[in-house]
């Protein structure tokens, strides 16, 4: 009898296993994103003697100081193919770093698998909302970039998720993507001096530890659409910061609201549509307000010809008024990562971002600096982007996350949208030289190649002993982390104390010191460092909850 029961259980187990395999296989097929690559004309990669410029058909990639400059020409398929061929090495380096960070976030196989299952479901059939031209470009990019394929997702699928960076970061709960954008609007539309031009400043930060992606400035010349330039990273098809040949500027500042996602394309793709199609600020706003949205954001739209700028606050249209506008009658506008209009006053997610991340603090500091430096010119805009002080000019210390420049910016950009000149920081953060680009020539093709424009010099901090100490402190933190992971808390403490002497205001250092002191059974010291971490790193919401839990365990 017992043997028969055992045999029945074995058979039942095998049947259940087979059923689960079949169901899981069906789930994978249902949630998989794939597209047939379009036909493209093959071209040869040609490297010049310096090794700094690669040509592929009409498109090319070159290194310019600390920046990479890429020019993509032709149909969507041709642009996607050239993007993959030219930027493969840059993408490979970025993707490898991101994979290591994700592996650290999900250390076990089960953690990674369960997260991926959720992501596949969230984005099932999501590429159906892509415009046909974008889908063709993305498929050609995937075909030309075999490095994009992973063990569990195909290249097209992974590259599509690259465009959904805003939603993916929200799944982690922490605030990993932050932006500040501001514009000085001239009082007189007829002024001929620089003070009468539309000046825009923009920085975009990605909280990925010590990782700093290559800074890529990409000029697009799509068939039948407006040329535009996008400042981003390899593999990005959408736009987070850019300006087109008509002087229309857009910048995306991620936000969060309680509204559910709509079945639309990623917002970065919508911003690309704006640059390809809009020749006035009014047209740009119409496109943004009409688009179905997968995520919330504040978007600054500038119009260099009309010398005007507005901020559009965007969220899903559960209510029509959730796409308000500000800035039409103001002399300066600015935005960070929370939404300000009345429809969002009782939005829990938005309130959380305003109160518990750096967004509210930075918003108030921006207001101070823009008032102090008015009227704004490009050099003063760079001063704002490089600001490392707190409200009222308070000293914050290097690396403080509340500062406008917390030394972890992915890119920093200043644009004179009326004169059509753009400056992009070489890095690190906003410290390096801001390289000048003549957009009248590069986008509008007006006249012969002009003489080089003046760059904006690097920050004096870049070559100072103070910044060298800060970098040494980051190395000491990494060393201490490895020692603690190896079970050597006493030695880790010595290395962490060295970092503390060199740079006392780095948030990750205080989290590490709290962990070390807790391991050494020093509760008072651990509590002090954990509390300091909460002050210094307001954006990592999930980590904050963990640290608060540790404080409760430590007791009063």
Q: How would you classify residue 174: left for phi > 0, otherwise alpha for psi between -120 and 50, otherwise beta?
A: beta
Q: Where are the domains of the chain?
A: 45-50+75-163, 170-463, 466-554
Collapsing DSSP to helix, strand or coil, 44 comes out as coil
Measuring CA to CA, which residue among 229, 280, 235, 234 is closest to residue 251?
229
Say how far apart CA 13 and CA 21 lie, in whole Å.
12
Structure tokens at 402: 């509340």
> How is domain 466-554 classified at the CATH fold level?
1.25.40
CA distance 236 to 80: 11
Radius of gyration of the chain (CA): 25
Q: Peptide bond preceding 428: is omega within 30 degrees of 0, i.e. cis?
A: yes
The model's pTM is 0.89
Output the DSSP codes for 196-231.
Answer: GS-EEEEEEEE--TT--PPPEEEEEEETTS--EEEE
Phi/psi at 414 (5° precision): -125, 135
The pLDDT tens digits along the chain (556 residues) read 676 766 666 766 666 666 666 765 676 677 888 888 898 988 888 998 888 899 999 999 999 888 999 999 999 999 999 999 999 999 998 888 777 777 777 767 777 777 777 778 888 888 888 999 999 999 999 999 998 888 788 889 999 989 988 887 776 666 578 899 999 988 655 544 456 899 999 999 887 665 667 899 999 999 999 999 999 999 999 999 999 999 999 999 999 898 888 888 999 999 999 999 999 999 999 999 999 888 899 999 999 999 999 999 998 866 666 677 777 667 899 999 999 988 888 899 899 888 888 899 999 999 999 999 999 999 999 999 999 998 999 888 888 888 999 988 999 999 999 999 999 999 899 999 999 999 999 998 766 666 678 899 999 999 999 999 998 998 999 899 899 988 998 999 999 999 999 988 888 899 899 999 988 989 889 899 988 888 887 756 667 788 888 888 887 7
Task: Indicate the CATH number of 170-463 among 3.40.640.10, 3.30.450.20, 3.60.60.10, 1.10.150.120.
Answer: 3.60.60.10
Quick one: which of 508, 503, 505, 423 has its CA closest to 203? 423
Alpha helices in 106-248 (DSSP H): 109-122, 132-144, 155-163, 165-171
């Amino acid at each position: 009898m017992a043997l028969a029961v055992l045999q029945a259980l074995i058979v039942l187990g095998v049947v259940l296993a087979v059923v689960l395999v079949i169901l899981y296989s069906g789930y994978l097929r249902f949630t998989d994103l794939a597209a047939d690559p379009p036909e493209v004309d093959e071209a040869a990669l040609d490297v010049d003697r310096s090794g700094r410029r690669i040509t592929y058909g009409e498109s090319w990639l070159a290194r310019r100081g600390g920046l990479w400059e890429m020019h993509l020409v032709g149909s969507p398929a041709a642009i996607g193919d050239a993007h993959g061929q030219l930027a493969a090495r840059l993408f490979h380096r970025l993707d490898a770093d991101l994979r290591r960070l994700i592996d650290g976030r999900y250390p076990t196989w089960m953690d990674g698998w369960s997260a991926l299952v959720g992501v596949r479901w969230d984005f099932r059939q999501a590429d159906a909302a892509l415009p046909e031209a974008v889908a063709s470009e993305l498929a050609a990019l995937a075909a030309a970039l075999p490095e994009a394929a992973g063990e569990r997702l195909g290249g097209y699928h992974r590259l599509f998720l690259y465009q959904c960076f805003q939603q993916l970061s929200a799944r982690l709960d922490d605030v990993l993507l932050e932006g500040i954008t501001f514009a000085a609007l001239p009082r007189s539309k007829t002024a001929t001096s620089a003070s009468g031009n539309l000046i825009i400043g923009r920085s975009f930060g990605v909280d990925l530890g010590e990782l700093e992606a290559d800074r890529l400035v990409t000029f697009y010349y799509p068939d039948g659409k407006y040329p535009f330039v996008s400042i981003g990273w390899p593999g990005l098809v959408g736009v987070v910061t850019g300006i087109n040949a008509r002087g229309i500027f857009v910048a995306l500042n991620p936000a969060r609201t309680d509204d559910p996602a709509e079945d639309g394309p990623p917002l970065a793709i919508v911003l690309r549509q704006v640059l390809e199609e809009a020749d006035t600020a009014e047209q740009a706003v119409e496109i943004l307000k009409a688009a179905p949205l997968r995520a919330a954001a504040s978007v600054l739209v500038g119009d260099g010809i009309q010398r005007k700028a507005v901020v559009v606050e965007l969220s899903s249209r559960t209510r029509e008024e959730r796409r308000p506008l500000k800035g039409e009658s103001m002399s300066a506008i600015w935005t960070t990562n929370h939404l300000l209009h009345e429809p969002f006053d009782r939005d829990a997610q938005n309130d959380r971002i305003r109160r518990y991340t750096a967004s509210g603090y930075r918003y108030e500091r921006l207001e101070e600096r823009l008032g102090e430096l008015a009227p704004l010119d490009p050099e003063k805009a760079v001063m704002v982007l490089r600001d490392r002080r707190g409200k009222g000019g308070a000293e914050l210390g290097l690396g403080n996350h509340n500062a406008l420049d917390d030394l972890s910016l992915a890119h920093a950009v200043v644009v004179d949208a009326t004169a059509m000149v753009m400056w992009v920081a070489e890095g690190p953060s906003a410290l390096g030289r801001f390289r000048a680009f003549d957009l009248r020539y590069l986008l509008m093709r007006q006249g012969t190649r002009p003489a080089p424009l003046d760059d904006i010099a690097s920050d004096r901090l870049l070559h100072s002993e103070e910044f060298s100490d800060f970098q040494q402190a980051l190395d000491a933190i990494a060393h201490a982390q490895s020692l603690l992971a190896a079970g050597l808390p006493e030695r880790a403490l010595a290395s962490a104390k060295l970092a503390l002497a060199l740079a006392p205001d780095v948030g990750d250092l205080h989290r590490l010191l709290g962990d070390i002191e807790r391991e050494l059974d020093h509760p008072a010291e651990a509590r002090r460092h954990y509390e300091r971490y909460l002050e210094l790193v307001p954006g990592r919401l999930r980590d904050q909850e963990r640290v608060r839990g540790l404080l409760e365990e430590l007791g009063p």
